[in-house]
Amino acid sequence: MVVSARRAARRRGLWGRLPWWVWVVVAVAGVALGAWGLTDRYLTIQRTRIADAKAWAIAGPPCPRITEAEFLDGSRKPIRTFDYDEVTFLRRDGHVDCAPIYDDGGRSTRFHAVCQFTNPESLQVRTKAGEWAFRPGPGKPATVSTANDEARCVMAAKITRAEMEARR
């Protein structure tokens, strides 16, 4: 019987000979390290969302509203259409850059589309809540936000045509 106990101890190796409290310390340390890693990752994502919300919060005078008929009859330039985050954007000219911006200044789990246009001339935005048309005018930048499925347009943007063409 003594011989078989020694054989069993040899088979278990070093790990089998450690006291139970060592296993408890290892388990608690593993859980704590995992929780710290998840918390750090969450806070990093949160800081990034808040920074994005600040960077994309563009102030400016509101874009002049127009009717859909005025949008359709407004120019000889072709209408360009694209969808972003379940919102349809139509524009006459220029480049566009969009981003999902989280509500409540980046602190929410819900987000909405924000698009910057270099010089759209005229815009139409279609969301679940309705349609909006704007005419910033030729050569004027614009930023459209779709928070709460309502389009809001300001005549300002941080992107430039040169910056957009450099991305190509």
Q: Where are the domains of the chain?
A: 2-55, 68-167
Task: Identify whether the C-beta of residue 137 lies closer than 8 Å to the C-beta of residue 118.
Answer: no
pLDDT in tens, 30-66: 888 888 888 888 888 889 989 989 989 999 999 999 9
Secondary structure (3-state) at 131: strand
Given this model, what pLDDT does residue 100 score?
Answer: 93
Q: Any idea which of 64-68, 106-110, 111-115, 159-163 has the lowest mean pLDDT?
A: 159-163
**Residues 7-24, mean pLDDT to the nearest whole number:** 72
What element of type H or E holds 154? Answer: strand 152-154
Given this model, what pLDDT does residue 9 score?
Answer: 55
Q: Rounded to an integer, what distance in angstroms lies between the CA atom of residue 141 and that of residue 153? A: 10
Q: Where are the alpha helices (DSSP H) in the chain?
A: 2-17, 20-55, 68-73, 103-106, 161-167
Q: Rounded to an integer, what distance in angstroms lies between the CA atom of residue 26 and that of residue 15? A: 12
Secondary structure (3-state) at 123: strand
Single pTM value for the model = 0.75
Q: How distant is the alpha carbon of residue 6 from its chain centre?
A: 62
